[in-house]
Amino acid sequence: MRPAGILLSTALALLTPAPAAPGERTLAIIVHPERTAALGIEDVAQIFLRKRRFWEDGAPIVALHHELGTAARASFSRLVLRADPGHLRAYWDQQYFAGILPPAVLSTSTAVKRYVAADRDAIGYIDWSEVDDSVRVVLKIQ
Amino acid sequence: MLAAVVLLNRASPVAAAEPYPPSPATDTPILSAPTPAGDVRYTPGRGLHVGDTGLTLGGYVAADLTRDEGGPTTFRVEDQGLFFIWDPTSRLHFFSELDVVDQDEPGGPRRTFVTPRLYGDVAALDWLNLRVGKFLTPIGRWNLIYARPLVWTTSRPLVTELPFDPFTTGGMLFGSLFPRGGMVTYSLYGQFTDQFDAEPGAQPVDRSVGGRLEYASLGGWSVGGSYLAFTEAGRWRHLTGLDTLWQRGRFELMGEFAFQEPVRDPVGNSGRQWGLYLQAVQEVLPKIYLVERYEHFDQAPEPAVNIGVLGLAYKPWPFVVLKGEYLFADRRAEESPPGVKSSFTLLF
């Protein structure tokens, strides 16, 4: 291919619009009530990409995902990770090649909330309407 | 292998019809069996998790069908790697990759194993980790993801392989810091023992010391710089590199540059190597990716070579990639000859 063709194809690629985001639900990022850390959305993204693996006090972070295909997981990927699904999949392929596996998955919001309420090192996300006093909300995402 | 792919396809549920679909449900185990050590689960492309032991077994395989210009059509299983991942605690991580290779010997080809990677990590904090063993030399990007299911082409840019030894046997300190909006990752490493390869690589080194610094933005771009000093035939040599990655929507641009200084000897400078590549990838149709790459590689005293690659990659499932490409060049480089190259790759 001529250089001009390559440049044209690249320009067309850049002009291709990104997929539109549908309406979102409000999520609560939750931790154990004794965990006082303040987290921003970037911190949460780094944690769930397993780039950040330790709390400030040195304890290992236990991140909890929802199952793929659930509305909570889809909203979390859009609002927090903000990555194209293909790029996200490629990222985890590369991590797997390095021996790093994705966060653990729990099947329900109730399970995530119970786990976080019981484990001082855990972090998870649930629908805002499911928040109660057993956990501490560190971030509201909508 | 084909039968396995067919079975996996039949086991895959239909993707949800939402405008921003989650990753296909292949992250969900297709096999799960209770055992005294916990559930044993197999997920395609994510390996076999052995209960609560922290052990995961996986790997990849690649088969190539190529026809280089002026040469015959060849088919061979080019890459087979087996992973052993063990995380006994949250601070300890062990990893090993065994590759099956064919060795040409006078009595005929013989299959044997090599160990591209074998190391243990101790994590103290996010910014302080220690790795000891044999690991991938952290120069650029391609070398850290060289497994065929992870890259977009059957061919490999020369600059990602020839100017340095892809593997280091020794120790590495590495970690990450998190300034606002991104992540800074560093690695400082050195080779202080002999490699345990049965077959030496393209440019084996005796001892080496190097470092890498990378900034990755959560906005989808990153830049990195690498430096490596190594001894070759008793002389210290130096290599510097720059690399970048930019992702936006379904488009990706990746590039690397590396320069290895020439050896200064009584008859003049020789052994200089430098090169670069720039690769663009776009998902043009669902699961179909257009790949374009330009490479330049200069290895004195040989004349420089300019290489272009135009190809397509098809991902029927996230863990399977079918690739086809045409590689053209202004000069035939033996390490990357022009021609048509295709491959089937599977991450398991």
Tokens of B131: 């790795």
Q: What is the pLDDT of residue A12?
A: 45
How far is residue B224's CA from residue B228's CA, in Å, rounded to a whole number?
14
Beta strand B320-329 with B167-177: parallel, antiparallel or unpaired? unpaired
Q: Among B22, B85, B218, whose Cβ lies nearest the Cβ of A69?
A: B22
Q: What is the pLDDT of residue B301?
A: 84
Contacts of B131 (CB under 8 A, 6+ apart): B119, B120, B121, B171, B172, B173, B174, B189
Chain A's closest residue to B181, CA to CA, is A42
- Measured in residues, chain B has a length of 348
Q: Among B19, B95, B218, whose Cβ lies nearest the Cβ of A42?
A: B218
Regions in chain A scoring below 70 on pLDDT:
1-24
Q: Into how many domains does chain B fold?
A: 1
Instruction: Give domain A25-141's CATH superfamily.
Output: Periplasmic binding protein-like II (3.40.190.10)
Q: Among A54, A60, A93, whose Cβ lies nearest the Cβ of B149?
A: A93
* Selection from B38, B256, B99, B24 nearest residue A86 by Cα: B24
CB B56 within 8 A of CB B48: yes
Q: Would you call A87 and B150 a contact, using CB atoms and an 8 Å cutoff?
A: no
Q: How many CA atoms lie within 13 A of B303 on its CB side?
A: 8
Tokens of B232: 């070759």
Residue B13 phi/psi, 5-degree rounding, is -70, 160
Residues on chain B touching A6 (C-beta within 8 angstroms): 280, 292, 294, 308
Mean pLDDT by 10 residues, chain B (348 residues): 37 32 54 91 94 94 95 90 95 94 66 88 97 96 95 96 90 95 95 74 77 93 96 87 95 96 65 92 96 95 94 96 97 91 97
CB B157 within 8 A of CB B168: no
Q: Would you call B46 and A17 a contact, using CB atoms and an 8 Å cutoff?
A: no
Q: What is the pLDDT of residue B118?
A: 96
User: Is residue B19, in this structure, part of any structural domain at all?
Assistant: no
Q: Report pTM.
A: 0.85
Q: What is the pLDDT of residue B18?
A: 32
| CATH code for the domain of B322 | 2.40.160.10
How far is residue B165's CA from residue B250's CA, in Å, rounded to a whole number?
33
User: Is residue B14, in this structure, part of any structural domain at all?
Assistant: no
User: Is residue B169, in this structure, part of any structural domain at all?
Assistant: yes
User: Is residue B176, in this structure, part of any structural domain at all?
Assistant: yes
How far is residue A122's CA from residue B35's CA, in Å, rounded to a whole number?
26
Distance of alpha carbon B179 from the chain centroid: 27
Q: Would you call A99 and B93 a contact, using CB atoms and an 8 Å cutoff?
A: yes
Q: Would you call B16 and A69 a contact, using CB atoms and an 8 Å cutoff?
A: yes
Mutate to test the interface with B, among A96, A105, A107, A121 (most CBs of B within 10 A): A96
Q: How far is CA A2 from CA A5, B293, B343, in A?
A: 5, 12, 25
How far is residue B95's CA from residue B85's CA, in Å, rounded to a whole number?
5
- Closest approach of A117 to chain B, Cα-based (Å): 20
How far is residue B193's CA from residue B189's CA, in Å, rounded to a whole number?
12
Q: What is the pLDDT of residue B269?
A: 57
Measured over the CA atoms of residue B265, residue B270, residue B271 and residue B273, the dihedral's sign is positive
Contacts of B232 (CB under 8 A, 6+ apart): B203, B205, B206
Q: How far is CA B282 from CA A87, B219, B247, in A?
A: 11, 18, 10
Give bridge partners of residue A53 from the DSSP assignment: none
Measured over the CA atoms of residue B107, residue B113, residue B116 and residue B120, the dihedral's sign is negative
Residues on chain B touching A1 (C-beta within 8 angstroms): 292, 308, 310
User: Is residue B9, in this structure, part of any structural domain at all?
Assistant: no
Domain that includes residue B264, residue range: 27-347
- Give the DSSP per-residue string, B92-123: EEEEEEEEEEEE--TT--EEEEEEEEEEEEEE
Q: Among B150, B282, B292, whose Cβ lies nearest the Cβ of A1?
A: B292
User: Is residue B10, in this structure, part of any structural domain at all?
Assistant: no
- Give the DSSP per-residue string, B272-288: -EEEEEEEEEEEEETTE
How far is residue B220's CA from residue A17's CA, in Å, rounded to a whole number?
16
Burial class (CB in 10 A: 0-12, 13-18, 19+), B194: exposed
Q: In chain A, where are the structural domains located?
A: 25-141
What are the respective helix, strand and coil percentages of chain B, to the nearest 5? 5, 60, 30
Q: Among A6, A60, A83, whose Cβ lies nearest the Cβ of B292?
A: A6
CB B156 within 8 A of CB B202: no
Residues on chain B touching A46 (C-beta within 8 angstroms): 178, 183, 218
